[in-house]
Amino acid sequence: MDVHVTGSDLRGTARAPPSKSYTHRALLAAGYSDGATVESPLISADTRATGRAVAAFGGAVAPAAEAGDSAAASADDDPAGPDLADADALSVEGFGGRPGVPDDVIDCANSGTTMRLVTAAAALADGTTVLTGDDSLRSRPQGPLLDALGGLGARAESTRSNGQAPLVVAGPLAGGEVAIPGDVSSQYVTALLMAGAVTDEGIEVTLTTDLKSAPYVDITLELLADFGVETTPIDDAGDPLDGAAGAAGFSVPGGQTYAPSGGTYAVPGDFSSISYLLGAGAVAAAPGEAVRIEGARPSAQGDAAIVEVVEEMGAPVDWDREAGEIAVERADLTGVTVDVGDTPDLLPTIAALGAVADGDTRIENCEHVRYKETDRVSAMAEELEKLGAEATEEQDALTIHGDQSDLKGATVDGRGDHRIVMALSVAALAAEGTTTVRGAEHVDVSFPGFFDAMADLGMDVERDGADE
């Protein structure tokens, strides 16, 4: 699907979708349990993949209203399929901490989070699991996680011996001590912690490099605590820490049981998705009016840093944390320097804002952002240049030269990446004329209603190949 976005004045209220990061973890945590209800989940292409994996391991996922029928659900029935689209809550029948051997290959589609979290879960099964995904996912690095699982006694291999999917994993994994780098993907750590809690021995994780994206591990620690699972970040001396930042490793005792209080877990709103709504308001809110965003309650999400970034760039922002509502007004933005080591998903949004701002916007510590659905550093530089922006790309930094940028409508490619599509759509609001964004259907990965929400705010957007 292509969308055509023309500069528009925005006003009104939009609601942030539920967090994709929390939904992935909550579905798998409920799978590890004897059963739980996940309230306010994000139903998207990625989270459906995690739901299918839970079913493949012997669990089941169904709308909570149909909980009585969920026992009949199976992977073949695709219980995490389109029928969940309008579900306000999901009833998850778990596999009690021990995944069964799947009847078929687990297809993780385009979801890197699914593949990494599920790969560790597969190592618990007493048998062999095969995992694959689409072209993009089969190009993403999994080697450090495979090495870690192998070091813990599981069989964990890439069929092409290149550290990429398809993967073959065989257990059962008992637990133990393992070392893993912290600067490739925090999801490796999350996967080991979630699986380690139900091993016999537990898992002691030592980081061989500094941890990047630490707030994503904080999300994991917060969610595990809500499911009654104990995990401890530790420093170089082996002393406990309050959070993942600065951790030299993690300890998770074995033999634990996943069980949320009252059998229910509620997913918070997603700040990665809020970043596009916030950015759109900062560049295109109608004069004298504000764009309001609901569902912005505080949580462990590091991407809440976008609020401070937009404020630093000069846009008036009012965040009522208790009500979970943000109001943002349009302003003449000024370039800033931002370290995205802990917040990689914010790079596309910040780059788009930099193309509108005066002066340079420099995004640092971003090499790991090259290993997402696409190389987001190069993708944003190249696609913004099509709109008339000037950018300088380095291996670990991206600078957008706002003073040298003059945005005009053009045809840009979303690169099969939901975040690139949404960020380019924000930039298009500030471009002269109409911008065509190709591959816009990929917003379904994390924000299925993105263009509906933007149209409700006043975005002039036309869609090809989709019902209006």
- What CATH number corresponds to the domain at position 183? 3.65.10.10
Q: What is the pLDDT of residue 445?
A: 87
pLDDT at residue 466 above 60? no
Q: What is the pLDDT of residue 65?
A: 72
Q: Are residues 341 and 243 in the same domain?
A: no
Q: Are residues 188 and 229 in the same domain?
A: yes
How many C-beta atoms surround the C-beta of residue 163 within 10 A? 16
Intra-chain end-to-end CA distance of the chain, in Å: 12
Show which of 240, 266, 292 is a domain's final residue: 266
- 26 neighbors 47 (Cβ within 8 angstroms): no
Per-residue confidence at 465, pLDDT binned at 50, 70, 90? low
Q: Are residues 148 and 286 in the same domain?
A: no
Q: Are residues 428 and 296 in the same domain?
A: yes
Q: Are residues 106 and 202 in the same domain?
A: yes
How many C-beta atoms surround the C-beta of residue 323 within 10 A? 10
Nearest to residue 260, comparing CAs of 112, 98, 122, 90?
90
Nearest to residue 324, comparing CAs of 292, 370, 362?
292
Show which of 203, 236, 266 is a domain's final residue: 266
Least confident of 186-190, 442-446, 459-463: 442-446
User: Which uninterrupted H or E stretch holds 308?
Assistant: helix 305-313
pLDDT at residue 467 above 90? no
Distance between CA atoms of residues 383 and 348, nearest Å: 11
Residue scoring higher pLDDT (85 or 408): 408
Q: Are residues 244 and 285 in the same domain?
A: no
Please count the residues of the chain. Answer: 468
Q: Are residues 328 and 230 in the same domain?
A: no
User: Residue 425 is part of which domain span?
Assistant: 2-17+269-464
Q: What is the pLDDT of residue 468?
A: 35
What is the count of structural domains for the chain?
2
Q: What is the DSSP string of 80-143?
A: TSGGGTT-SEEEEE--TT-PPPPSS-EE-TT-HHHHHHHHHHHTTSSSEEEEE--TTGGGS--H
Q: Are residues 313 and 380 in the same domain?
A: yes
With tokens 């149209």, the residue in question is 455
Burial (CB count within 10 angstroms: exposed 0-12, middle 13-18, buried 19+), residue 222: middle
Distance between CA atoms of residues 462 and 4, nearest Å: 5
Show which of 241, 266, 291 is a domain's final residue: 266
Tokens describing residue 35: 């059963």
Q: Are residues 326 and 349 in the same domain?
A: yes
- What are the Cα distances from residue 170, in Å, to 49, 152, 173, 314? 20, 12, 8, 53
pLDDT tens-place string over residues 55-93: 999 999 999 975 444 433 433 444 444 367 778 999 999
Tokens describing residue 447: 């924000």
Distance between CA atoms of residues 193 and 237, nearest Å: 20
Burial 72-95, CB ≥16 within 10 A → b, else e = ebebeebbbeeebeebebbbbbbb
Q: What is the pLDDT of residue 70?
A: 41
Question: How does strand 2-6 pair with strand 264-266?
Answer: unpaired
Q: Across residues 380-394, what is the average pLDDT?
A: 98
What residues act catalytically? 345
Q: Are residues 354 and 373 in the same domain?
A: yes
- Name the pTM for this structure: 0.81
Q: Are residues 173 and 312 in the same domain?
A: no
Q: Are residues 35 and 170 in the same domain?
A: yes
pLDDT tens-place string over residues 12-60: 999 999 999 999 999 999 999 999 999 999 998 899 999 999 999 999 9
